[in-house]
């Protein structure tokens, strides 16, 4: 059976490869030709490994054996019943509003070619009600036996293949036949548990709430970290001891919330509601505001610590180490580290950024970690990456004195010659 995967980004590409490794013939479709070329050339900037091999290498091997094919314009291989896996997300407009036309376009592209027995299964985060209002009416207008299902994906970059295999899954469908068909397909991939949602809108809401839950809890721990710093308490020791309670699980603090999913989750929920109800969501709205403010608060910490040691932010040499949206990944979408850099530049600082996995075209970077920290007035640790060791002896020797480090990732051990502030 042929599988067509629409969207070959952080979710779609690992999924397409995983399904090909399971024995399916997979065609990956992405309208961005540069993304297709990076896959063909083996230069994919996604940090995933499976059985010791990088995702780029696995993709090239599958392309050679035709277990994986690539298209930038969709065309169907044959008229046998097939599976269409849609991983394209709702687009974020420059003004911050959400654009669902991406879903419309994919559905409209697929519709003319559909035959009896085809399964459409949507995997990305949706505004609750999207599939009911956009997809199902179009499919039903064909008067064919087409199956529609929704099973939101929960994979995290750097762990995609493991989580595709082991994460529990939510599944909902247009009708009973659709559910049975989709469940059979999902069970052919892995035996991890499947939980049935009574409606597609409920399943869409599950994924949105999962993301908002993390957003809210990140805001909480970051605020706690600010209080702990004010009181002279080690936030990481505090967290460790708090989490001895069997019903408490504090997350780790950080420089803010990045990636595509979490910052946009609340918008998805808001678009499903009327204006009055949006305003009543005080906790979620406040958490989102706090997370938006976190990068500038980190910069304010830097300004404060420099001032305490007789230095000003203007023309100060600030090394920002780690530009990805989280530790050990290459995804820089909505990265709080990039916001920190922008705020520092506005304050007049000389910024030396460095991240071995984030391309230089995203932001001008030093040629090496050593170059970035050399003679720096302050280092901000915004993300950890492999092969960036944060050796306190090296840092204390290379930095300008006094050596000031604002560590948002609990990456640096204390050293007598470093003024270390963990936030």
Please write the tens of the pLDDT for every residue from 63-95: 999 999 999 999 999 999 999 999 998 887 877
* Mean pLDDT across 25-40: 96
pLDDT tens, position by position, 278-325: 888 999 999 999 999 999 999 999 999 999 999 999 999 999 999 999
Predicted confidence at residue 403, as pLDDT, reads: 96
* Mean pLDDT across 334-340: 97
Cβ(39)–Cβ(8) below 8 Å:
yes
Please check the confidence at residue 171 and state whether its pLDDT lies above 90: yes
Domains with residue ranges and CATH for the chain: 2-198 (3.40.50.720), 237-422 (3.40.50.720)
- How many whole angstroms from its chain centre is CA 22? 25
Cβ(1)–Cβ(39) below 8 Å:
no
Helix axes 55-64, 33-41, angle to 10 degrees: 90
Q: How far apart are the two ends of the chain, measured CA to CA in Å?
A: 51
Q: What is the DSSP letter of 420?
A: E
Backbone angles phi, psi at 172, to 5 degrees: -140, 165
With 0-12 / 13-18 / 19 or more C-beta atoms within 10 angstroms meaning exposed / middle / buried, residue 412 is buried
The per-residue DSSP string of 39-50 comes to: HHHT------EE
| Structure tokens given for 372 | 């970035």
pLDDT tens, position by position, 384-406: 999 899 999 999 999 999 999 99
Asked whether the bond before 316 is cis by omega within 30 degrees of 0, the reply is: no
Predicted confidence at residue 62, as pLDDT, reads: 97
pTM: 0.93
Predicted confidence at residue 45, as pLDDT, reads: 83
Residue 251: which pLDDT band, with cuts at 50, 70 and 90?
A: very high
């Amino acid at each position: 059976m042929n599988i067509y995967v629409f969207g070959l980004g952080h979710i779609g590409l690992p999924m397409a490869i995983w399904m090909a490794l399971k024995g399916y013939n997979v065609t990956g479709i992405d309208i961005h030709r540069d993304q297709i070329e990076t896959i063909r050339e083996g230069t994919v900037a996604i940090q995933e490994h499976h059985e010791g091999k990088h995702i780029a290498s696995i993709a090239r091997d599958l392309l050679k054996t035709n277990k994986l094919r690539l298209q930038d314009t969709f065309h169907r291989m044959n008229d046998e019943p097939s599976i269409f896996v849609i991983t394209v997300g709702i687009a974020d407009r420059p003004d911050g509003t959400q654009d669902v036309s991406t879903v419309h376009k994919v559905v409209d592209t697929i519709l003319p070619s559909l035959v009896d027995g085809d399964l459409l299964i949507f995997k990305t985060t949706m505004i609750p009600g999207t599939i009911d209002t956009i997809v199902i009416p179009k499919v039903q207008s064909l008067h064919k036996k087409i199956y529609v299902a929704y099973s939101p994906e929960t994979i995290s970059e750097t762990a995609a293949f493991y989580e595709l295999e082991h994460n529990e899954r939510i599944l909902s469908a247009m009708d009973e036949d659709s559910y049975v068909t989709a469940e059979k397909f999902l069970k052919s991939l892995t035996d991890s548990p499947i939980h049935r949602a009574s409606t597609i809108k409920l399943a869409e809401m599950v994924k949105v709430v999962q993301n908002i839950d993390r957003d809210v809890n990140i805001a909480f721990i970051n605020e706690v970290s600010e209080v702990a710093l004010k009181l002279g308490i080690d936030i990481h020791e505090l967290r460790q001891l708090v989490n001895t309670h069997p019903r408490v699980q504090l997350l780790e603090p950080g420089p803010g919330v990045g990636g595509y999913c979490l910052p946009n989750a609340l918008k998805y929920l808001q678009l499903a509601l009327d204006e009055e109800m949006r305003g009543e969501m005080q906790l979620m709205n406040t958490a989102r505001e706090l997370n938006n403010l976190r990068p500038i608060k980190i910069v304010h910490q830097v300004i404060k610590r420099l001032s305490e040691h007789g230095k000003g932010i203007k023309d100060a040499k600030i090394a920002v180490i780690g530009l990805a949206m989280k530790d050990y990944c290459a995804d820089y979408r909505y990265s709080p580290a990039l916001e920190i850099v922008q705020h520092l530049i506005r304050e007049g600082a000389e910024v030396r950024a460095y991240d071995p996995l984030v391309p230089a075209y995203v932001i001008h970077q030093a040629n090496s970690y050593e170059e970035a920290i050399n003679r720096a007035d302050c280092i901000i640790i915004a993300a950890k990456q492999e092969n960036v060791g944060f050796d306190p002896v090296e840092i204390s020797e290379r930095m300008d004195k006094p050596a000031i480090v604002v560590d948002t990732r609990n990456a640096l051990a204390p050293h007598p010659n470093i003024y270390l502030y963990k936030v």
